[in-house]
Amino acid sequence: MSESPQDVDVLLVGLGSTSGLRIADDELARSLQRAGARVERARAEPPRRDVPTLMLTDLLWARAARRAALQMLARVRPRAIIYSTTTAALLWPRPGAIRFDAAAAANRPGRHGLWQRPLERHRLRHAPLLLPWSEGALVEVGHRAAAPGSAGHIDLAGRALVLPAPIELEAAAAPDRDIAAITYAANPHKKGFDRVLAAWRQARSPGERLVVVGAARAALAAAGFALADDEQIDIVGSLTREETRALMRRARVFICAPRREDYGLVQLEALAEGCQLVTTPAPGPYVALSLARRLDARLVGADLVGALRAALATDRPARADYARRAAALIAPFGRAAADRLVADELLARLLPR
């Protein structure tokens, strides 16, 4: 005889298709548990084959999320469901809250999102609660929705709670910053690794080194990046969150030039570790962009070479002041702030008495 489903408060259905999403899901689950909620996880199994288009990629992930949700719903009886990303919600077996860093309406333009965008609008209209990572993500949903009164309109009033993906703010004591610059190159075209590489080749000085995390040398070569041994570049591949942050703690500069940024979790963690953020503007809800401008506008702009040279030339006292001011600006993105939001607002809306 089969066992009866177990009662839980929240079922979190996630893709975990990127390290950022896995980190965000883990943080949310732990925050819910610290607030007293009983939480179960449904994790999608990664597709077993690569497919040539984003449309097919999203379909495989959406089907995997549905399978994972159905398997868990056979074992538990949740009071509420949270789908992490709109892709996880596209083929949902039951309506639930949708948490997202960006919507397909914004990051799947043209042919890349032909089937995802209309289905996403339908899911967003019928979700009891929307949980964007940032105000910018919510603005994108509102701006790209159909006009009020039309079939595609998404009414956001009273159904949205901005829930940032938290980061660890308690950075360890920084050793000597023996790394000139660090960058993150997973999905190198989207992250603008070609722009970073071009800037580094012009701005570097003898003895300075650029550390590349998130992609192995073979993956970069397959993406068309041939790197010579004498370019003062260390490619360390995919690392754990803790290993990446340990390298950031040794770096003077975090440099990036994304073509689109859906949130920028890595940039926030770099600021937490005392790195100066050198970046170009990018479309999307890039939360660290406005912070970087407030900290030092010289380091933000299309002139990536000039910005990198300025950052690398900054003396130690100025770098320390930058890190101190950055710590104050990123405080709202810490775990303590997220825990308060989850305990005081999210649970009350997910689990009304």
Tokens of 80: 């509420």
How much is the mean pLDDT over the chain? 92
Q: What is the mean pLDDT of residues 205-231?
A: 91
Whether the domain at 6-166+334-350 and the domain at 179-333 fall into the same CATH topology: yes
> Tokens 């933000």 identify what position?
300
| CATH number of the 179-333 domain | 3.40.50.2000
Residue 175: count of CB within 10 angstroms of its CB: 9
Q: What strands, in cross-sheet order, belong to the sheet with 276-279?
A: 233-237, 210-213, 179-184, 251-256, 276-279
Answer yes or no: is pLDDT of 311 > 90: yes
- pLDDT (0 to 100) of residue 268: 97
Largest CA distance in the chain: 72
Q: Given pLDDT bands bounded at 50, 70 and 90, which one contains residue 17?
A: confident
pLDDT, one tens digit per residue, over 150-200 is: 444 566 667 899 999 999 897 667 678 999 999 999 999 999 999 999 999
- Percent of all residues in the chain with a pLDDT value above 90, rounded to a whole number: 83
- Tally of CA atoms within 13 A in the half-sphere of 11 that contains its CB: 30
Please say whether the beta carbons of 48 and 119 come within 8 A: no
CATH topology of domain 6-166+334-350: Rossmann fold (3.40.50)
pLDDT of residue 144: 53
Q: Where are the domains of the chain?
A: 6-166+334-350, 179-333
- Per-residue confidence (pLDDT) for residue 172, from 0 to 100: 67
Taking 60 as the threshold, does the pLDDT of residue 290 lie above it? yes
Alpha carbon distance, N-terminus to C-terminus of the chain? 33
User: Which percentage of the chain shows pLDDT scores above 70?
Assistant: 94
Nearest to 94 by CA among 66, 74, 121, 116: 66
Side-chain half-sphere CA neighbours of 298 within 13 A? 11
pLDDT of res. 241: 92
What is the predicted pLDDT for the residue at 339?
96
What is d(CA 337, CA 136) in angstroms, rounded to the nearest whole number?
A: 19
Which residue is associated with the tokens 């309506």? Answer: 95
Average the pLDDT over 238-258 and give the result. Answer: 96
This prediction's pTM: 0.90
How many CB atoms are closer than 10 A to CB 148?
8
Contact between 227 and 194 (Cβ < 8 Å): no
Give the integer Cα–Cα distance in Å for 338 and 309.
Answer: 36
Token reading at 10:
């929240």
The span from the CA of 314 to the CA of 82, in Å, is 44
Give the pLDDT confidence score for residue 146 in this predicted structure.
Answer: 45
